[in-house]
Chain A
Amino acid sequence: MNFSEDQILRYSRHIILPEVGGEGQERLLKAKVALVGAGGLGSPAGYYLAAAGVGTIGVIDDDRVELSNLQRQIAHTMQRLGTLKAESAKTTWEGLNSDVRVIPHAVRLAAANIRGIFGEYDIVVDGSDNFATRYLVNDACVMMKKTLISAAVFRFEGQVMSIYPGEGPCYRCLFETPPPAGVVPSCQEAGVLGVVPGVVGTLQATEVVKAILGIGKPLRGRLLLWDALEMSFTTVNVPRNRACPVCGDHPTITELFDGERPCGTGGAPRS
């Protein structure tokens, strides 16, 4: 492709890299990535993907911006309190880079609509804050063979794993079912240091960019654990579970289904 003068300047630090070049930048511009949630994880992930020139970014979130989000959800602003997060993120990211088209999906992901939405994208980034969505997204990506960059944060800790269906473990290989309701901290108990999803969402963006460019070693079959207080990163090898109910040799989950919502609010995925 022929880059515009502005594109040559904007992406010059990418083009210089032997692992990227003009060809890699072109791949980024043609890539289509879906973000589940425009919250704590989706905000930094989408921000860096937009900066990198990922040409199409879908944002799935039916929630609206609240003041309590702004401690960590950097895609949003005080001026946009009360507006849809998907629209707010579009404003921020398209304002950063006019090469990027952000497609807002202001709907709650469910078994009935997830295939239609994910079908438009190559890679999915999970920035959801609840187990129902997390498992639905995992199962849909396995069934649709979409690369999924999964992550979660809690208090001062975060974890990331890249799921390449058919090539490595999925989220259910790691945790077959959601934990029982009594074990999951309620929203009131589950504080998070604002910068923690910032780091973890940025790690997700890194995995997305690597996947698009086909460079480096993905977190496939490896769970990355980060402890901010200890400031330590650990990777744990995760084997594919041949008895996994969704990606194993004889899957028992062959249809998508909706799980229970957390906190009873029906809020959109957020972190």
Chain B
Amino acid sequence: MHGPGTGGGSARKGAWNADRTLDIRGQVCPLTFVRSKLAIEKMAPGEVLEIIVDHQPAAENVPRSMEHEGQAVLGVEQTGAKEWHLFIRKDRDTRRSA
């Protein structure tokens, strides 16, 4: 697993090789988690979701809720006074067989 880039914005994006980016700046809890969960449900196990938020509680709560659901939090990177990038790897397939 790679660590977060240290050389600034350009190195950051590829640091975890996100397979999908969800920009939900402007959204607040709990919709931040709702949208993140819907996004990761559609991804394959092993894929990485990058979530961009500007709501501070979401930067803490979304990773915690993702861990609770069995997903891996690779890292949380603050990129501005009010901007965070959350990197979540889908470890658990939440889809149950019908």
Q: What B residues does A3 contact at CB under 8 A?
A: 38
| Binding-face segment, A17-25, A192-200, A220-228 | A17-25
By beta carbon, the residue of chain A nearest B35 is A8
A12-B30, A21-B41, A22-B41 known; 16 other A-B pairs, CB under 8 Å?
A3-B38, A8-B35, A9-B31, A12-B34, A13-B30, A15-B34, A15-B37, A16-B37, A18-B68, A18-B69, A18-B94, A21-B37, A22-B37, A23-B96, A27-B98, A214-B96
Q: Is B87 an interface residue (CB 8 A)?
A: no
Cβ of B33 within 8 Å of any chain A Cβ, yes or no, is yes
- A42 to chain B minimum Cβ distance, whole angstroms, is 28
Instruction: Return chain B residues, CB-CB under 8 Å to A27.
Output: 98
Q: How far is the CB of B22 from chain A (nearest CB, A)?
A: 13
Is the pair A23, B41 in contact by a Cβ cutoff of 8 Å? yes
The reply on B95 being an interface residue by CB < 8 A is yes
Q: Which residue of A lies closest to B94 (CB)?
A: A21
Contact with B along A2-16 (1 / 0, CB 8 A): 010000110011011
Chain B residue nearest in CB terms to A15: B34
- Contact among B31, B41, B94 for A8, CB-based, below 8 A: B31
Asked if residues B37 and A23 are in contact (CB atoms below 8 Å), the reply is no
Using a Cβ–Cβ cut-off of 8 Å, how many residues does chain B contribute to the interface with A? 15
Contact with A along B46-89 (1 / 0, CB 8 A): 00000000000000000001001100000000000000000000
A-B pairs under 8 A by CB, number: 33
> Given A18-B69, A22-B41, A23-B41, do A8 and B96 touch, yes or no (CB 8 Å)?
no
A95–B5 CA distance with the chains assembled, in angstroms: 52
Contacts of B34 in A (CB 8 A): 8, 12, 15-16
Interface pairs (16), CB distance under 8 Å: A3-B38, A8-B34, A8-B35, A9-B31, A12-B30, A12-B34, A13-B30, A15-B34, A16-B34, A18-B94, A21-B41, A21-B94, A23-B94, A23-B95, A23-B96, A27-B98
Tell me if A8 and B38 are in contact (CB < 8 A).
yes
Tell me if B38 and A15 are in contact (CB < 8 A). Answer: yes
A22 to B39, CA, bound (A): 9
Which residues of the partner chain A approach B95 to less than 8 Å between Cβ atoms?
23
Bound-complex Cα distance A8 to B31 (A): 8
Chain B positions within 8 Å of A16 at CB level: 30, 33-34, 37, 65
Give min CB distance, A142 to chain B, whole Å: 24
Q: How far is the CA of A16 from the CA of B38 in the complex (A)?
A: 9
CB distance from A112 to the nearest CB of B (A): 33
Bitwise interface map of B from 13 to 57 toward A, beta carbon under 8 Å scored 1, else 0: 000000000000000001101110110010000000000000000
Measured in the bound complex, the distance between the Cα atoms of B37 and A214 in whole Å is: 20
Partner of B38, one of A13, A18, A22, A214: A22
User: How far is A164 from B41 in the complex, measured between Cα atoms in Å?
Assistant: 30
**When chains A and B are docked, how far (Å) is the Cα of A214 from the Cα of B98?**
9
CB-based nearest A residue for B97: A214
In the complex, which of the residues B35, B38, B41 has the most CB atoms of chain A within 10 Å of its own CB atom? B38
Q: Are B41 and A12 in contact (CB under 8 A)?
A: no
Q: In the complex, what residues of A have CB within 8 A of residue B35's CB?
A: 8
Give the residue name and chain of the A residue nearest to B70 (CB): A18
Alpha-carbon separation in the docked complex, A27 to B41 (Å): 14
A12 to B94, CA, bound (A): 17
Distance in Å: Cβ of B33 to nearest Cβ of chain A: 6
Within 8 A of B (CB), among A187-239: 214
Question: Do A12 and B31 touch (CB < 8 A)?
Answer: yes
